[in-house]
Chain A
Amino acid sequence: MSDVLIACEGVEVVYGTRRQNLGLEPGGVKVLHGIDLEIRRGESVGIVGESGSGKSTLGRAILRLGDVAAGSIRFAGEDITRFSEAAMRPLRRRMQMIFQDPMASLNPRHRIRRILTEPMLFHRVCAAGEAGARIKRLMDRVGLPEAALERYPHELSGGQRQRVGIARAALLEPDFVVADEIVSGLDVSTQAQALNLLKGLCRDLGLAMAFIGHDLSVIRAVCDRVYVLRAGRVVETGSCNQVFAAPSADYTRALIDAIPLPEPDPHWLARESLPG
């Protein structure tokens, strides 16, 4: 078995088209222009770019949550580019998503216990009788009090809600997870907790991860490799060590330099980041 889990080749995504009998109708706006990307088992890969760069679209395309206009996506060696919903269903458990805004991705009318239990039963991860025990163990692991199970999402803090989102994905024992901007809007301390948790889970469960973000400091802390996207194209890729030490694209350099470090630099503000 190859240790490449996700392999994208020439992936293009076009918005504003409708499905027809024989594929997609022509027209629309192309938002991904031939993306090549590879993620190995157990590897954490950062996908970084500004809003509109296509990073979230790419995350959704890999999970087949959006239609792919051209190119191919392979998951564990299988070409899933044209899989139907029904064909995707057995794979869904193995590829999970952690969303940016837990308030919008956790059902506000369900208690946390139900939010965590239902996907496990749907995917038949375990028998109904065993679900409770698994949830209890994981709640402990993600640092949530058991009492939180009886709460509704709005009764938890932002950091706690994000940990519920992480727990929900981890309970399905996936091979791969897409984490889309999951720490933007959290306090630094809460952010550190969530990122450490995610790193630990990836390590312990051998999870591969696509970590989508715009903050290169966070990507640096979490990921092994990084893809830098701009306007739907990969402008640079490599190991974090290499990309951060010697970025080859001006755009990457600009993204790095735009991050304010907690250390005064009298020249930082005046330094032009992106020419034009």
Chain B
Amino acid sequence: MSPILTIERLSARVQSRGQEILSKVSLSLERGEVRGLVGESGAGKSTIGKALLGILPRDVVITGGAIRYDGRDLLAMPARERRQLLGAEITLIPQDPQTALNPGRRIEAQLTDGLRMKRGLSSREAHDKALALLEEVHIREPQRVLAAYPHELSGGMRQRVLIAAAFALEPRLVIADEPTTALDVTVQKQILRLIRSMQEAHGTAVIFVTHDLGVVAQICDTVTLLYGGTVIEAGPAADMLANPRHAYTRALIEACPRYDQPDAGLHPVPDGVISAMRRDLSQRYGRPV
């Protein structure tokens, strides 16, 4: 079966600073696959997610490459056609459940927008579907939550609502942009479990943007590790964590504190590893970085 998504040699630049932030990034995603997009801040992982969703900041332009969704190039497609896909076939689970919901609208209104506009459901049908979705994400008292405003819900509840919204239109690709960084570890685990079970139940492919290798290990099938807008290493998650090929991958693993190995972790990435990667980057970009 052909992949649902292929990114081919994608490059992007911040126009005002003339600075490249992605250089020839390639990856592909099979149907039903969960791929971790991993890196430290500035690695370009969120930029790729935003490029997929067509929500790059105005100042960032794509300078080369293609994003093929189901065989069609998202970048070359007429804006109108692309809008049909976004929010319906390709959706987002945002990072911060505190700011992603409109504080002035009830949950029901926000959860049913897409169902009514993109699927043409009546308010009644949309209401029933929204109720079923909230049950699917294990929200107790879904009736009460539908009538609530975001501030009346906890962070974990809001993230559940956003997951319900992301899966509402039966998307084929979900971009999860660090969806658990703002949550407690116990809530994080519930949310990860929920994303995985929704993904498995619906056969959805997921791009999981994160900086946490622990999260990658437990939820991702495959990983693409980025540094400075380039791919450092990619492959099945279990292989990469057990047998990292690149010195940077190994260093990142060794920087993670581990409760089961108190003397292992906490080794910052060695300067030598960083400077070697920077040398490669400056060659690639043709300027010092």
A→B interface (CB under 8 Å): 50-51, 158, 185, 187-193, 195-196, 214-221, 240, 244, 254-256, 258-265, 268-270, 273-274
Distance between Cα atoms of A150 and B180 in the complex (Å):
36
Given contacts A255-B185, A268-B218, contact A220 B268 (CB under 8 A): no
Set of chain A residues within 8 Å of B186, measured between Cβ atoms: 50, 254-255, 258, 273-274
Q: Which of A50, A192, A244, A274 is the one whose CB lies under 8 Å from B259? A: A244
Q: Which of B181, B193, B252 is the one whose CB lies under 8 Å from A270? A: B193
Set of chain B residues within 8 Å of A158, measured between Cβ atoms: 41
Most chain B CB inside 10 Å of its own CB: which residue of A185, A220, A262: A262
Is B212 at the interface (CB under 8 A from chain A)? yes
A-B contact pairs, 8 of them (CB 8 A): A188-B213, A189-B252, A192-B265, A221-B266, A256-B259, A261-B259, A262-B258, A265-B218
Q: Is the CB of B218 within 8 A of A192?
A: no
Q: Which of B40, B184, B192 is the one whose CB lies under 8 Å from A187? A: B40
B→A interface (CB under 8 Å): 40-41, 155, 181, 184-190, 192-193, 196, 211-219, 237-238, 241-242, 251-253, 255-260, 262, 265-269
* Nearest 9 CB-CB pairings of A with B: A260-B214, A262-B213, A187-B40, A221-B257, A258-B185, A217-B257, A188-B255, A189-B269, A260-B218
Set of chain A residues within 8 Å of B218, measured between Cβ atoms: 260, 264-265, 268-269
Question: Chain B interface mostly helix, strand, loop or mixed?
Answer: helix
Given contacts A193-B268, A262-B217, contact A188 B211 (CB under 8 A): yes
Q: Which of B196, B242, B255, B259 is the one whose CB lies under 8 Å from A216? A: B259
Set of chain B residues within 8 Å of A191, measured between Cβ atoms: 255, 257
Set of chain A residues within 8 Å of B238, measured between Cβ atoms: 264
Set of chain B residues within 8 Å of A50, measured between Cβ atoms: 184-187
Given contacts A260-B218, A262-B253, contact A217 B213 (CB under 8 A): no
Distance between Cα atoms of A185 and B95 in the complex (Å):
12
- Tell me the nearest residue of chain A to B221, going by C-beta: A264
Set of chain A residues within 8 Å of B184, measured between Cβ atoms: 50-51, 214
Distance between Cα atoms of A274 and B193 in the complex (Å):
13
Distance between Cα atoms of A185 and B183 in the complex (Å):
11
Q: Which of A190, A192, A261 is the one whose CB lies under 8 Å from B217? A: A261
Q: Which of B212, B241, B262 is the one whose CB lies under 8 Å from A240? A: B262
Distance between Cα atoms of A256 and B289 in the complex (Å):
40
- Tell me the nearest residue of chain B to A223, going by C-beta: B262
Set of chain A residues within 8 Å of B260, measured between Cβ atoms: 244, 261
Query: Separation in Å of the A47 CB from the closest CB of chain B?
Result: 15
Query: Separation in Å of the A76 CB from the closest CB of chain B?
Result: 30
- Tell me the nearest residue of chain B to A197, going by C-beta: B268
Q: Is the CB of A262 within 8 A of B268?
A: no
Set of chain B residues within 8 Å of A240, measured between Cβ atoms: 262
Set of chain A residues within 8 Å of B262, measured between Cβ atoms: 220-221, 240, 244
Distance between Cα atoms of A191 and B40 in the complex (Å):
11
Q: Is the CB of B40 within 8 A of A192?
A: no
Set of chain A residues within 8 Å of B267, measured between Cβ atoms: 192
Set of chain A residues within 8 Å of B241, measured between Cβ atoms: 262-264
Set of chain B residues within 8 Å of A260, measured between Cβ atoms: 188-189, 192, 212, 214-215, 217-219
Query: Separation in Å of the A244 CB from the closest CB of chain B?
Result: 6
Query: Separation in Å of the B89 CB from the closest CB of chain A?
Result: 26
Set of chain B residues within 8 Å of A263, measured between Cβ atoms: 217, 241-242
Distance between Cα atoms of A193 and B267 in the complex (Å):
8
Given contacts A50-B185, A50-B186, A214-B185, 11 further A-B contacts (CB under 8 A): A158-B41, A189-B268, A192-B265, A195-B257, A196-B266, A215-B257, A216-B185, A260-B192, A269-B189, A269-B218, A273-B190
Query: Separation in Å of the B239 CB from the closest CB of chain A?
Result: 10
Q: Which of B192, B211, B256, B268 is the one whose CB lies under 8 Å from A217? A: B256
Q: Which of A220, A264, A273 is the one whose CB lies under 8 Å from B189? A: A273
Distance between Cα atoms of A187 and B257 in the complex (Å):
12
Given contacts A195-B266, A221-B262, contact A264 B217 (CB under 8 A): yes
Set of chain A residues within 8 Å of B259, measured between Cβ atoms: 216-217, 219-220, 244, 256, 259, 261
Distance between Cα atoms of A214 and B189 in the complex (Å):
13
